[in-house]
Amino acid sequence: MHRDHDGAGDRIAGAARAGLDRRRWLRLAGGALAGGWAAGCSTAGAARWAWSAPARARVTAALVSPDRVIRVVAGLRPYRPEGFVVRAESFADKLLVHNYGHGGGGVSLSWGTAEMAADLAGDGGDGEAAVIGAGAVGLATARLLQRRGRAVTIYARDLPPNTTSDIAGAQWSPTSVSDSLDGPFGIRFERASRLAHRHFQNLVGPDYGVRWIDNYFLSDSPMRVPDYQSRIRDLYPEWEDLEADQHPFPTRYARRVATMFIEPPRYLRALLRDFRIAGGRVVVGEIADPRQLAALPEPVVVNCTGLGARALFGDRSMVAVKGQLVVLRPQPGVDYLTVGGGRFSTEGSQYMFPRDDGILLGGTFERGVETPEPDQAQTERILRDHCMFFHAMEDKRRAVNP
């Protein structure tokens, strides 16, 4: 499975050094839960990072401490080892188009597979269409069908802000989408990625909560280029690999690229607004049985139910992959993403995404775990790893700029 956010190599190095890191962590956190956490882990007063080479790498450390936590969330990624499904079939007297199973990259890919699904739905004229699901995939699909002239009704059990798509980071990066990109799926993956990337560029700005941002992929071992990225490397502009003395992070290597970054709460709200302005109808409720679809008035139905497709259409190949995030209060001035943490990543994935509604600290990637409730041990691990990481970043800054 492509899990760039996981930094598996780093985890091994991290485990080897875990003894040292844990001792340091305990010292830093000193009396942690008795209030020492905040004192030990906050990098309060962190000066703006003033790295001189390259000059543009001016980054502020995130302030990490338990007293800055505003919520902890978890969601189940709709993962299909063979990759997403976009295909059409006849169902009762309808055309049923499937568009589900996007794993860890569903926000990123949404407009791409929506375009492919809309192609399968055919020209609309003034025909009607139903979209089942109101996550990133369903909303993008519904908007494209509207643009192609269809009158669209969304049927969904949950609306934003209560979908998995609301929990997503969401870095524009179609990662963790399938076990392999070999064969025909790789071609479809690449097409969906390119279509989606182009669509998102039209949405950049505060209205949709989409912006360009620097990403730093971090590791203590030399970084390879994951397959998913090598296929679409041109979609990651300003790509540069940096050595320890060229970047401000406490890992040996850093890869800087630019990506778009999507704020799902604002983005999904804006899509729903656009959908309604364009005359779209929303019906809230669960479709418990495919036979209910046969009773819908629309001749074309697009299934965008994410993980829900497993029960609704019996796709047993789908597996939940749990992801958990710890959200800190917003910290204006932190305006870059980190992915990976080298030896500071003791297990699971490590990433920091700074959104308007909070600093997201990730994360987990637990295949087959079906419980959407956050896990306290993971919360502590995520906080501890990031605390250590950003402290070490401050130490490095002080060493360079005493």
Ligand X SMILES: Cc1cc2nc3c(=O)[nH]c(=O)nc-3n(C[C@H](O)[C@H](O)[C@H](O)COP(=O)(O)OP(=O)(O)OC[C@H]3O[C@@H](n4cnc5c(N)ncnc54)[C@H](O)[C@@H]3O)c2cc1C
Tell me whether residue 250 or residue 354 sits nearer to ligand X (CB atom).
354
C-beta of 36 vs 330, nearer to ligand X: 330
Closest distance between ligand X and the C-beta of residue 90, in Å? 20
Dist CA 391 CA 25 (whole Å)? 10
Q: How far apart are CA 345 and CA 30, in angstroms?
A: 20
Closest distance to ligand X from the beta carbon of 52 (Å):
31
Peptide bond into 83 cis (omega under 30): no
Q: How far, CA to CA in Å, does 79 sit from each of 104, 106, 291, 339, 368?
A: 7, 10, 25, 21, 9
CB of 227 or CB of 394, closer to ligand X: 227
**Cα–Cα distance list, 232 to 8, 20, 191 (Å):** 22, 38, 10
Separation between Cα atoms, residue 120 and residue 132, nearest integer Å: 16
361 — alpha (psi -120 to 50), left (phi > 0) or beta?
beta
- Backbone phi, then psi, for 144, in 5-degree steps? -70, -35
Which residue in 72, 10, 67, 62 sits closest to 387, CA to CA?
Answer: 62
Nearer to ligand X, 105 or 124 (CB): 105
* Nearer to ligand X among residue 28 and residue 156 (C-beta): 156
Q: What is the DSSP string of 151-164?
A: EEEEEES--TTSSH
**Which of 121, 134 has the CB closer to ligand X?**
134
Token pair for 193: 């990625």
**C-alpha–C-alpha distance, residues 36 and 261, integer Å:** 34
CB 362 → ligand X: shortest distance, Å?
6
Distance (Å, rounded) from C-alpha 89 to C-alpha 97? Answer: 6
Distance in Å, CB of 143 to ligand X, minimum: 13
Q: Which residues bind ligand X (CB under 6 A)?
A: 75, 77-78, 100, 102-108, 132-138, 155-158, 163-165, 167-171, 286-287, 304-306, 308, 312, 323, 325, 363
DSSP, residue by residue, 14-65:
HHHTHHHHHHHHHHHHSSGGGTHHHHHH--TTPPPP---SSTT---PPP---
Residue 35 CB, shortest distance to ligand X, in Å, is 29
Smallest CA-to-CA distance from 219 within 3, 11, 2, 1 is with 11
* Smallest separation, CB 280 to ligand X (Å): 14
Q: How far is the CB of 323 from ligand X (least distance, A)?
A: 3
Dihedral sign for Cα atoms in the order 265, 268, 272, 277: positive
The single-letter DSSP state of residue 171 is B
Q: Which is nearer to ligand X, 28 or 139 (CB)?
A: 139
In angstroms, give the least distance from the CB of 298 to ligand X. 14
**Nearest approach, Cβ of residue 197 and ligand X (Å):** 11
Nearer to ligand X, 30 or 290 (CB): 290
For residue 248, the SS3 value is coil
Omega before 174 within 30 of 0, i.e. cis = no
CB nearer to ligand X: pick between 157 and 199:
157
Query: Could you tell me the smallest distance in angstroms from the CB atom of residue 312 to ligand X?
Result: 5
Taking the least distance from each CB to ligand X, the nearer of 100 and 253 is 100
